[in-house]
Amino acid sequence: MKALTWHGLEDVRVTDVPDPVITDTTDAVVRVTSTAICGSDLHLYGVLAPYLQPGDVLGHEFMGIVEEVGPDVATLAVGDRVVVPFNISCGRCWMCQRGLFAQCETTQNTRTGKGASLFGYTSLYGSVPGGQAEYVRVPHADFGPIVVPDEMPDERFLYLSDILPTAWQAVDYADVNGNDTLVVLGLGPVGQLAVRSALHRGVGRVIGVDLVADRIETARASGAEVLDASDTDVATAVLELTEGRGADGVIDAVGMEAHGNPVSEKVIGAASRLPKPVARQAVERFGIDRLAALHTAIAAVRRGGTLSISGVYGGMADPMPMMELFDKGLTVRMGQCHVRRWSDELLDIVRGDADVLGLEGLATHHGNLSDAPDYYRIFQEKQDECLKVVLTP
């Protein structure tokens, strides 16, 4: 089959790889009908190169049709239309019973000290072949895949794999309600869906922040107030908009790719180009992130407020303003999304007649799987007002 594979720093290619087969009794094989490029995939394109091997199949946002099921999969049938969560969880272990599916103990990567395995996401998370491919083997298919209706376009359901529940969880973690102000830092796909989710949930005031003009305008069109971080001191502006108090909740939907720290940007770039064993040591012991967005979030949230982090960070030696965090008495919630914790609630919303979250219009670029290398570059460089890419194998 054809699949998008990693071959080096900023070098991804569509190549021939072996067809997936059933290897465990709870596996399924899914024929992919739509797959997306996620902002987290861009980390693989650059920052996380030390944890990839040439030929690794990328991609963790996908949906399709069940082609084959293992003998112990009673919840699926051949022909079912499914969307597949990006994290692989069993649904039965101690963590899963508590709704902590991203920490599933059955697929947890104890050797690398990481949580549940992820599709298409490095040796840190199990080196499981991903979904930017024609077919995918889905482990624990007796629990993970979400059966969706046969009608409606793929894009009504595709984002249930990752970015929609990630945004929904971010809003939930921010602990805001109809009387509160929520700031969303970073208006990429997750930030846009966080804005829409917050408004749908009745949050009183939502303020979106970004550097990119078209992303700012998209959030404004969704009903958010907006701030342009390229010409505004965001924390000061938020204080001015909230009677000097700060926002009740702030979502950092940016993560390690934040702009604003040229020193750490050079360090990260240099580490990515080191020989793999040396690079891994550099990341795991001394790694740093660009923390401009996170520090802004801490400054913008009110005393006693909540900081919700959905953007991915990977540094082990990040300098944090602990005095400010402690003195302001902040609650901080973060982590990989527990997709199946939110999927039933979200499926009820997205399968309604009205596309209330604007899912069908979120993607700005569409193409075939063969176009993936070009779209990785376009997405990374934010060319052509690229917000979200959806591909058809």
Alpha-carbon distance values, 328 to 175, 206, 263, 299, 357 (Å): 16, 22, 28, 10, 34
Q: DSSP assignment of 151-193, as one string?
A: SS-GGGTGGGGTHHHHHHHHHHHHT--TT-EEEEE--SHHHHH
| Phi, psi dihedral angles at 188 (to 5 degrees) | -75, -165
Q: Tell me, what's the pLDDT at 264?
A: 45
Digit-coded pLDDT (tens) for 16-66: 999 999 999 999 999 999 999 998 898 888 767 778 999 999 999 999 999
**5 with 58: CB under 8 angstroms?**
yes
Rg (CA), the chain: 20
Nearest Cα neighbor of 163 from 363, 356, 14 is 363
Q: Which residues of the chain have pLDDT under 50?
A: 258-265, 286
CB atoms within 10 A of CB 263: 9
Using CA atoms, how far apart are residues 179 and 305, in angstroms rounded to an integer?
13
50 touches 165 (CB < 8 A): no
pLDDT at 200: 98
Give the model confidence (pLDDT) of 137-174 as tens digits: 999 999 999 999 999 999 999 999 999 999 999 999 99
pTM of the prediction?
Answer: 0.92
Assess contact for 159 and 362: CB atoms under 8 A: yes
**Cβ atoms 59, 1 nearer than 8 A:** no
d(CA 339, CA 286): 30
What pLDDT score does 75 carry?
Answer: 96
Q: How many helices (H) and strands (E) does the chain have?
A: 12, 15
What is the spatial distance between Cα 239 and Cα 146, in angstroms, rounded to a whole number?
42
Q: Around Cβ 385, how many Cβ atoms within 10 Å?
A: 14
Which residue's entry shows tokens 């949930």? 201
Give burial (CB, 10 Å; 0-12/13-18/19+) of 18: exposed
Percent over 70 (pLDDT), the chain: 90
Distance CA 27, CA 309 (A): 32
Give residue 287's pLDDT.
Answer: 52
Residue 253 and residue 192 in contact, taking contact as beta carbons nearer than 8 Å? no
Write down the pLDDT at residue 281: 56
Strands 81-84 and 61-69: antiparallel
The two beta strands, 2-8 and 11-16, are: antiparallel
CB atoms within 10 A of CB 322: 8
Residues 91, 106: Cα–Cα separation, whole Å:
9
Contacts 24+ apart (CB under 8 A), 73-79: 73/25, 73/26, 73/27, 73/28, 73/141, 73/142, 74/142, 75/141, 75/142, 75/143, 75/145, 75/147, 76/28, 76/141, 76/142, 76/145, 76/147
Q: With beta carbons less than 8 A apart as the criterion, state whether 49 and 282 touch.
A: no
